[in-house]
Structure 1
Amino acid sequence: MYDSYTNVGYYMKNNGKIVVSGTTTVGLVCMDGVILGSDRRATSGFFVAHPHVKKIYKLDNHIAATIAGVVADAQNIMGIASANIKLYKYIHNRPISVKAAANLISNILLSSRVYPYVVQLLVGGYDSSGPHLFALDPYGTVTEEKYTATGSGSPMAISILEDSFKKGMPVKDSVEIVARAISSAMKRDPASGGGYDIIIITRDGMREISSEELAVYKSV
């Protein structure tokens, strides 16, 4: 079993397979953007290490990522990825595409496949080709998704997404679905809780809202 005192999730080996557990993160592509969300509870096994942590990282003005796994591994990857994404923009005088950012992180994970980073990531953003969402496993596998969830709360979250997702939904309707998916997981998964954070990425930029602010956002 892999875990740490400050992890945002943990992995355990089950019949030779690595299984992610301990958090809930959600990603969804809508008509005019990408929405990423996560709960806030940091756990170590059944111990709640911290009730309120950030599990969504801003990699650039148009790209963000969610993390599930050992927090030290995730922070290391996010630091490397963020620096290289900013370096790309400096060298080429244009922002990196979301797919290229996901491939960059994939290469970091792939290079450590003998001693893999214990993480599962969602990378989402909006570039010149529109909104995109990618899921990455600990070995660097990249898949593009319209919606997905990771962590121990993912079975509950994905059921909400599968039932409610429709192509062409606007951001406002999509935010409500992401919020319901995370809330459903927090009610049923003891490793998820503490409220949630949501990031909305559109052509106009990035906006972060919390579960406490969502009621105000919905009324706008």
Structure 2
Amino acid sequence: MAMFSQNPVLDGPNYSFAEAPQARADGFREHRFNPYTDNGGTTVAVAGDGFAMMAGDTRSTSGYSINTRFAPKVFKIGGSTSSQEDANILLSVVGFAADGEALKERLDAICKMYRYRHGKPMTVNACAKRLSTILYQKRFFPYYVYAILGGLDEENKGAVYSYDPVGSYEREQCRAGGAAASLIMPFLDNQVNFKNQYIPGSGVGHALQERERTPLPRSDVEVLVKDAFDSAVERHIEVGDALQVMVITKDGIEEKILPLKQD
């Protein structure tokens, strides 16, 4: 991921993970190497009744440079073949693209081995626990990614699990991760989790009755997710180009690509 602006300090192409040597008081120059970089992008996941939806933009950046306009961030996990046609789990990764690819490949291999040994796919709950241990095993040199896992649980209800880089996780109704997470998450809190939504005329002040929290239908979630990204691309330079949307149901996984702003 070279940024081919010539850097006179480094005497050559400038890489996003290289830092200029620092001069010290004793006359020596201190060299540093940072193996991480942030490749931008944002992902969103929403759990519903009978489906789970995951979406991510396709822009990959290094600083103010765009590496590519099509770098998918949502992946099928646990299929019996390389085409992943019968996969039953979705994983989204955003942050450092190389770590995201490595984490995706490792989890997919583990799920495939489980299917081969046991003759059945791994459940999303079991996969969520396994992903937590994978991340925790690398806690001293973590995968520099924000991961979200999605699928259907044993009751055919949508399940979404969000993670920090060292394996702490929780099941949620919805979650946004990545560059524009701080822009999108308040919107999801209000529209999906119904935070600060009350029944009109139910009282005054603390007597107000909260709106009942029920899963949204799939058609409403699709509109909300697209609206969230349309707003984010107006305010964040690391998000844009196209929107990859995957929906997992009992019938399988559907995928579609929607346009976003490219400037």
Q: Which TM-score band applies after superposition, normalised by the shorter structure?
A: 0.7 to 0.9
User: Are 2:116 and 1:90 equivalent residues in the alignment?
Assistant: yes
On the 8 A contact 1:98/1:125 being kept in 2, the answer is: yes
Any gaps of 5 or more consecutive residues in structure 2? 4-15, 18-35, 79-86, 193-212
User: Are 2:40 and 1:22 equivalent residues in the alignment?
Assistant: yes
2:165 to 138, 159, 164: 138
Q: Which residue of 1 aligns with 2:239?
A: 192
1:103 to 121, 124, 129: 129
Structure with greater helix share of residues = 1
Counterparts in 2 of 1:65-214, with a 5 A limit? Answer: 65-129=91-155, 130-165=157-192, 167-212=214-259
User: Which TM-score applies when normalising by structure 1?
Assistant: 0.84
SS in 1 for 2:219: helix
Aligned-residue Cα RMSD (Å) equals: 2.2
Any gaps of 5 or more consecutive residues in structure 1? 12-17, 213-220
Separation in 2 of the partners of 1:127 and 1:96? Answer: 11
Q: Which residue of 2 aligns with 1:218?
A: none
Separation in 2 of the partners of 1:45 and 1:145? Answer: 31
On the 8 A contact 1:158/1:181 being kept in 2, the answer is: no
Query: What stretches of structure 1 move > 6 A for 4+ residues in a row?
Result: none
On the 8 A contact 1:63/1:123 being kept in 2, the answer is: yes
Aligned partner of 1:160: which letter? F
On the 8 A contact 1:56/1:65 being kept in 2, the answer is: yes
Aligned partner of 1:189: which letter? H
Aligned partner of 2:256: which letter? I
On the 8 A contact 1:62/1:127 being kept in 2, the answer is: no
Greater relative contact order (Cα 8 A, min sep 6): structure 1 or 2? 1
Displacement of 1:167 in angstroms is 2.2
How many matched pairs? 200
* CA distance 1:185–1:5, shift in 2 (3 Å): farther
Displacement of 1:5 in angstroms is 4.9
Percent identical among aligned pairs is: 27
Separation in 2 of the partners of 1:72 and 1:41? Answer: 14
Rg: which structure is higher? 2
Separation in 2 of the partners of 1:86 and 1:163? Answer: 38
Separation in 2 of the partners of 1:82 and 1:96? Answer: 11
Separation in 2 of the partners of 1:162 and 1:202? Answer: 23
SS in 2 for 1:211: strand
Displacement of 1:35 in angstroms is 0.4
User: Are 2:46 and 1:45 equivalent residues in the alignment?
Assistant: no
